[in-house]
Amino acid sequence: MFCRSNPVNLCKLLCINCANRCKKESLLFLFLFLIIFSIQKISRYTFEGFHQPLLCVDTNIPAVTPPPADGLIMTPNLRPNRWTPFNVTSSNDTVNRRIFFHETSGRNQLSLQQCCAVESAAKHNPDRPVQLFIRPFRDGCPGNGLSSSLPSALFHNPPWLDVLSHYPNVAAILLNEDHYFSGTPLQDWYRAGQWLKSQHEVAHLSDYIRILTLYKGGGLYLDTDILTLKPYKGDVFRNCLVYGSSRFEVFSNGVMHLERGHWLSAEIVRLLAAEYDPEAYAYHGPALVSEVMSRVCGVVAGNSKTNQCEDVKLLSDRFFYPIEAPFSDAIFNENENKTDVNTLSKIRKAYGLHLWNSLAYVHEPVRIDSNQIFSILARQHCPQTVSRASDFQS
């Protein structure tokens, strides 16, 4: 009777029931969507590689849960889970004056030449903080970091870390990459992960992260194949770029000092965030630095006197690149027990020497007791490394 006598009310009732059902189904659909989205996001962060749920030290040591910090200060004879957290911006005494290096291969190791480079910087500049940023080990590490039956898994004591621990001004930092990029203009580039698929992955990460470190905290960046020969004192090493060759055509990004907040690091970071080419090897490094200096400061290739930016000094190649790449084999040749005196004299006028580690495949192997120019210099500028030479992997 109700249906026949009140057809309008019946329709209203049916509409209300339908609306309630649709509302419930919509909420259920939204709930399921959020769950699926969260799973995909976690999966992407975990398995595509840009987010590290754990920091790997090496194949024997359990992984470390990353702190809400930029990294952990690596300390010999101390378990990794007790290493001290580190933040770039928390140490005001390091701003602008620090010397820093980045090792981005993901091996969590230094070669003899790399260790020598870091030691020489610390030895000649005892009044300046020296920071070595290490990318976490990338080839996997044990379990969840809770336990291990291996005695060797208690501590991380590679020879390079033992050497550098002799210098109180050195800090080796296991980098928490995701936190380091988080909140910066390069966060989206890092998390997109396109660089992980590039054949130039290590080089591109190196180009991006060195500029990011200058942007975040300032200081003097050195490549891990720059052997320091003299202290970096005086205003000449403040806010400076260095030419990579005697032709004065392209600036190197292997040696740069910029104070925190400098416009040049901000501009380079802006361009790196705006455009990324996974196929271009050098564009994000020397080519980009040179392009900005040309566009903003009017620098003409081959003529350092055209620089119109008074807050950026241009240093000639003789400061750090006295030996150019085509002649770098002279640094490692023995020449039948005769040292190349002329080359050695030219090098000793410089403040640092680029060892061209990228060309190691064409150089003679290092023989630390030989008359190779590198070996002669190493015995003087990185004695602790030399004393442990036999402990380094060839």
Q: Judge contact between 81 and 65, C-beta under 8 A.
A: yes
What does the DSSP 8-state code read for residue 284?
A: I
What does the block give as tokens for 331?
Answer: 């640094």
Residue 36 reports pLDDT greater than 60:
no
How confident is the model over 99-149, as pLDDT tens digits? 999 999 998 899 999 999 999 999 999 999 999 999 998 776 765 444 444
201-217 and 263-274 helices, crossing angle to 10°: 140
Which CA distances in Å does 256 have to 213, 222, 259, 295, 311?
11, 7, 10, 19, 13
Closest C-alpha among 201, 310, 279, 199 to residue 190: 201
Is residue 367 helix, strand or coil?
A: coil
Q: Judge contact between 367 and 245, C-beta under 8 A.
A: no
Residue type at position 83:
W
pTM of the model: 0.84
Q: What is the 3-state secondary structure (H, E, C) of 321-332?
A: CCCCHHHHHHHC
How confident is the model over 43-90, as pLDDT tens digits? 333 334 444 568 888 877 888 888 899 999 999 989 888 999 999 875
Q: Judge contact between 374 and 332, C-beta under 8 A.
A: yes
Percent of the chain surpassing pLDDT 70: 80
Q: What is the mean pLDDT of residues 219-224?
A: 97
Q: Which of residues 79 and 386 earns the better pLDDT score? A: 386
The pairing of strands 219-222 and 251-258 is antiparallel
| Element holding 175 (H helix, E strand) | strand 170-175
Compute, in degrees rounded to 10, the torsion defined by CA atoms 331, 336, 342, 343. Answer: -10
